[in-house]
Amino acid sequence: MFRVFLTPGWVITAVVVIVFAYTAFTVLAPWQLGKNEATSARNQRIEQAFNTDPVPVGTLVGPDGVVAPDLEWRRVTLDGHYLSDDEVLLRLRPVDHQPAVQGLVPFELDDGTILLVNRGWLPVEAGQIPEVPAAPGEEVTVSGYLRRNEAVPERSPVTEQNHTQVHGISTEQIAELTGVPLGRDYIQLSAGSPGGLDPIPLPKLDAGPYLSYGVQWIAFGIMAPLGLGYFIWAEIRERRREREEEASAAAAAPVSTGGPGGDTDPPERSPTRRDTEAQDVGTETTPPVPQPQPRERRRRRARYGSGHTDHYRTIAEKNEERF
């Protein structure tokens, strides 16, 4: 019975189902659940930052400018001045679903530490870079959020309309372009800070669909083997039904009791439709000829004689009597 499942079609189907289920449990579901966990952790950090008063940046960040992962989005204050001559623009990063440029400028603290500050954004119209107001050069106090550095973008910086533009917020790349030693991470200004542009919207505290996607991949990984098992059970049930029908047909067939060389006559064959039709046709086309009764035969011999009648002689005698 189980040899049918060793055919190429069944083997390939089983392999595909096993690989799919394994991938769903070990890759796809953990991927979505991991994104859900990271999003939930980020939302908790942002919520905690909103509920915590800002502190001087030096209490959370050292001279190297490194921001610990659990401190991202914490609110801080910075005392110092902008290095506005070394400002670069971040391009090709929309804000509120519209083209925009963002101002990235070094900020030197009173202790000599230099951190990169994202001043905010300005809309881009007709592909033209807007006039970006310069940051103030005097001593100011600004506030913002601690942000972690991005990787070096694959695309090289460009210079258009007297502005150096980059494709990512990488302090390493910007330090090479400006020649200013920057800390590893950067600050995103909050609304109302001196020298700020339009403030960048904070991320929404939404967990997203990642949890439901992860649960769906787990469900798919369970349903695939169950579906394969159902088709195997249906195939076994169908083949079992065919064998039972064949056994029933064999049991209902007539069995001859005459042995080899026996005198048992074969069973009488019942007339078929063809035989009946042939008999009916013969009856209609060749009706039986009635035979004369014995009394009628004697009367006929007395009138016409027992011999055969000579019809030619009878006709000649009738003609002689007429003339």
Residue ranges per domain, the chain? Answer: 2-49+209-237, 54-189
**What is the pLDDT at residue 295?**
54
Task: Quote the DSSP letter at residue 89.
Answer: E
**What is the pLDDT at residue 6?**
79
Sheet strands (E) in the chain: 55-56, 75-82, 88-90, 100-109, 114-123, 140-147, 158-160, 163-166, 186-189
**What is the pLDDT at residue 245?**
85
Q: Please give the full DSSP string across 233-289, using - where no structure is assigned.
A: HHHHHHHHHHHHHHHHHHHHS------TT--PPPPPPPP-HHHHHHHHHHHHHSPPP
**What is the pLDDT at residue 75?**
94
**What is the pLDDT at residue 5?**
77
**Closest Cα partner for 146 from 67, 62, 38, 46?**
67
Share the mean pLDDT of the chain: 83
Identify the segments of the chain with pLDDT beneath 50: 284, 304
**What is the pLDDT at residue 275?**
56
- Please give the span between the terminal C-alpha atoms of the chain, in angstroms, as a whole number: 107
Distance of alpha carbon 323 from alpha carbon 320, whole angstroms: 5
**What is the pLDDT at residue 242?**
85
pTM: predicted TM-score of the whole model, two decimal places: 0.63
Other CB atoms closer than 10 Å to residue 80's CB: what's the count?
21
